[in-house]
Amino acid sequence: MKLLKPKNLSYEGCPTGLIDHCAYVVHQILFFKRIYKNEYVYLPSSSLVKMLGTRQYGPAMSYLKKNKIIKNDGSYKKGKKCYHYELCEPYASAKMAPHELDPRGKISKKIEKLRGASTLSRKAAYSCKVKRGPDTRSRYQHVLGSLDVLELNCEDYHTLAKCFDHTLSPTGRLYYPFALQPSSIRSQALLGGEKTQEVDIACCQPYLLATLYPANSTEKEKYILLIQKGDFYIDIFGEDESRDEVKKKAYRSILFGAAKYMNGSYGKKLKEKLPELWQIIFDLKEANPNGKGEEKTGNSYFACLLQKKESQIIFSVVEKLRQLNIPCLTIHDSIRVGSSSIGLTTQYLWNECFETTGIEPQLKVS
């Protein structure tokens, strides 16, 4: 598997074991998500203590000095067994206090402007954000770092699949490095040297809501007919605004908002047209105890529940592809395969979605 980095940022291995602000700066540059905007690469803060060891201290310091990130003033800090280093420009110009550069703290200030950032493409400026997790998992998160082109062959795919085993994390999010990449990056993936395509379920949330109805529901058939008839959002919430605006407000107030918003204007429209579904959603948001992950309270729990249902559909198809030794890459709501396998994958996904929801889905291939 290749790891390509922005052309104007040199790289000498994976520097670990850095101290204080040195660790903070180099770790931010190499490993964290960059949002490319107006020649700046904004580097968010995060704890990295668990990510740092001591084995590569020498190479890491060489990297920092060679790239003029830090400089040694020649003095020696007594009692700390290390030389005193200062930040070079442009880092020093931020005038941050030492404790604000401590990697163990939560640093919110934007302190870096990378030289030559204007030459970076949007893809090259992006690198994978490392989530907290066991050391092995964290190291594999680095594999899909800053990318111009991502190449994966069958062996690489199975290595990733073995390490991450397509499952959801306790927070309801998919713990898998490819899931952290935007679509512009995922579209660059090659599987076995073959170009890839991605298939997902268009407008999936209304399909997922159908799975919430109990077996003896008298309203489910009416709901399915509404979905298959046409545009769910316009049929339920009216045509006073554009479809995109209606969808945005419906998501905010009904799908992912707190229970109190279920009694707002959009909630009342849903209650009028589909009272049983309204009550199911309201009860789910009201009844769950405080907690984390799948036991989050209210609207957070409901959002995780919908995501898990969608993921189960996707992962069922992924498992079938793996049994046929067809390599694929997936986030929780789509599957990317080689172009030669897109037809079979689309058929599998259509069948799985129909069997789960009872609705003939519309799939989108890109």
Q: Which tokens is 274 given?
A: 């589909």
- Most confident listed range (4-18, 139-153, 271-285): 271-285
Could you tell me which of 99, 17, 23 has the C-alpha nearest to residue 56? 17
- Residue 117 DSSP class: G
Sign of the CA dihedral running 236, 237, 242, 244: negative
- Greater confidence (63 vs 165) lies with 63
Distance in angstroms (rounded) separating the CA atoms of residues 203 and 72: 56
Computed over every residue of the chain, the mean pLDDT equals 58
- Residue 274: pLDDT over 50: yes
pLDDT for 288:
60
Q: Could you tell me which residues come within 8 angstroms of residue 324 by beta carbon, excluding any fewer than 6 positions away?
A: none
- Using CA atoms, how far residue 146 sits from 32, 36, 61, 246, 324, in Å, is 9, 12, 21, 36, 31
- Most confident listed range (45-54, 290-299, 319-328): 319-328
Q: pLDDT digits over 29-52, tens only? A: 433 333 333 333 332 223 222 333
Query: Is the CB of residue 277 less than 8 Å from the CB of residue 211?
Result: no
Q: Which parts of the chain fold into alpha helices (H)? A: 20-31, 57-66, 135-141, 154-164, 183-186, 204-210, 220-229, 232-237, 243-250, 265-273, 275-287, 298-323, 342-357
Lowest pLDDT segment from 127-136, 242-251, 299-308: 127-136
pLDDT for 240:
66
- Using CA atoms, how far residue 354 sits from 224, 340, 357, in Å, is 11, 24, 5
- Using CA atoms, how far residue 176 sits from 3, 80, 160, in Å, is 17, 39, 8
pLDDT for 356:
81
